[in-house]
Amino acid sequence: MSNLFMRHTEAGSREAVSSRIIMHVDLDAFFAAVEEREHPEYRGRPVVVGADPKEGRGRGVVSTCNYEARRFGIRSAMPISRAWRLCKDAIFLPVNHELYQKVSSSIIMILRSYADKLEQVGIDEAFLDVSKRAKDFTGAGELAKAIKRKIAEKERLTCSVGIGPNKLVAKIASDYHKPDGLTIVEEKDVKAFLAPLPVEKLWGVGRKTKVRLNAMGICTIGDLASYHNAKLRDEFGAFGVEFHRMAHGIDNSEVVEEWTPKSFSREHTFEEDTGDQNLIYTTADRLFEEVERDVERNGFTFQTLTVKIRYEDFETHTRSRTLQSPAAKPNALKEVLHELVSPFLESGRKVRLVGVSASSLSMKAGQKTLI
């Protein structure tokens, strides 16, 4: 297959564009799989990585769990107490970030050796542009099998791979068959592949957008693709137009070599809901110091500071401030932090969780390191 094909542009003219072959690789049950690898005696048993369940009294959340635990209905981000009730016999483990980070770096290095261009998008996933490496989609499938073999051999882990003509399709394809999947969607099959999938599989369609789309009678990506473009624009503005393009499987975004994390954040769930303002401020200070250290260590500066508060009834709010210059002094930043926290405490409501995040990151001058 030639890597050149003719595309009809929106203006109706024809232009030659080079077709791309993009791969998305996502590790299966990443944190839990690493733990299983380190402790072969856990194999075959449900494993949950996250906060301490404290026999059902634990107040944090599940980071992830293996597929055995998923059979009990346990999922990422679920309260750990609920996970415990769903499967008391599961093996509950704390998050060992340092270890997962090490494994992640080694996997990214393996992936890099198979790609023309690689974009890491999270701790356990990456996009690979393999247009030059693979002659066609069949060749890309062989490449994916070689990658899977290499990861199994070197890191004793499995991953799921999606291959498509762009990042959007590749990402949806890698999620299509998990764990240990390989899904190849050629350009000619894109619309048929996407059509039956629920709309929330598309980028940017979160829970609220899904509800609005469903209310308009749009449940599948196929429904969205055949919906009036103009009506979508009326309802969602520029996003509506983008949704329509995505529903047709169009995505021209490049695989960008240098991935920059969007933010660094930390949060803390109190042992007991608290109205103790002193405790809330000192916890926010500690989280802020940890976040600042992460930002610094990874060679970034940040400009936006966000505080998250969850009240005892789970109502959650955030408040942000964008600073004029990124290099403010730590003490001045703490003042900003306290100004962000204080309005949340005025009502006297008890607080369950406090979180701090730093975003609008830029690379420090002269630095070229990535996580």
Name the residues annotated as catalytic.
125
* Long-range contacts of residues 276-283, Cβ cutoff 8 Å, at least 24 apart: 277/345, 280/341, 280/345, 280/351, 280/354, 281/338, 281/341, 283/354
Selected from 20, 24, 31, 194, the binder of ligand TTP by CB under 6 A is 31
Nearest alpha carbon to residue 286 among 266, 311, 270? 266
| Closest CB to ligand TTP among residues 76, 359 | 76
Distance of closest approach, residue 165 Cβ to ligand TTP, in angstroms = 23
Question: Which residues, numbered 29-68, are part of the site for Mg ion (CB under 5 A)?
Answer: 30
224 binds ligand TTP (CB under 6 A): no
Q: Measured in whole angstroms, how far is the alpha carbon of residue 202 from the centre of its chain?
A: 13
Distance CA 25, CA 33 (A): 15
Binding mask 146-185 vs ligand TTP (x if CB under 6 A, - otherwise)?
--------------------------------xx------
81 binds, among Mg ion, ligand TTP, none (CB under 5 to 8 A by kind): none
| Closest CB to ligand TTP among residues 29, 170 | 29
**Please, are residues 161 and 134 in contact by the beta-carbon 8 Å criterion?**
no
**Please, are residues 156 and 55 in contact by the beta-carbon 8 Å criterion?**
no
Binding mask 51-80 vs ligand TTP (x if CB under 6 A, - otherwise)?
------------xx-----------xx---
Candidates 12-20, 48-56, 122-130, 195-203; binding stretch for Mg ion (CB under 5 A): 122-130
288 binds ligand TTP (CB under 6 A): no
Distance CA 335, CA 32 (A): 39
Selected from 124, 242, 251, 294, the binder of Mg ion by CB under 5 A is 124
Selected from 24, 25, 26, 173, the binder of Mg ion by CB under 5 A is 26
Question: Which residues, numbered 179-208, are part of the site for ligand TTP (CB under 6 A)?
Answer: 179
Candidates 27-35, 277-285, 302-310, 357-365; binding stretch for ligand TTP (CB under 6 A): 27-35
Nearest alpha carbon to residue 61 among 101, 95, 90, 96? 95
* Long-range contacts of residues 34-42, Cβ cutoff 8 Å, at least 24 apart: 34/96, 34/99, 34/100, 34/103, 34/157, 35/93, 35/96, 36/66, 37/155, 37/156, 37/157, 38/99, 42/91
Distance CA 349, CA 34 (A): 40
| Closest CB to ligand TTP among residues 51, 225 | 51
Selected from 22, 93, 103, 123, the binder of ligand TTP by CB under 6 A is 123
Distance of closest approach, residue 146 Cβ to Mg ion, in angstroms = 20
Strand pairing report for 47-50 and 91-93? parallel
Kindly list the residues in this chain that would bind Mg ion in the complex (CB under 5 A). 26-27, 30, 124
Kindly list the residues in this chain that would bind ligand TTP in the complex (CB under 6 A). 26-31, 63-64, 76-77, 123-124, 178-179
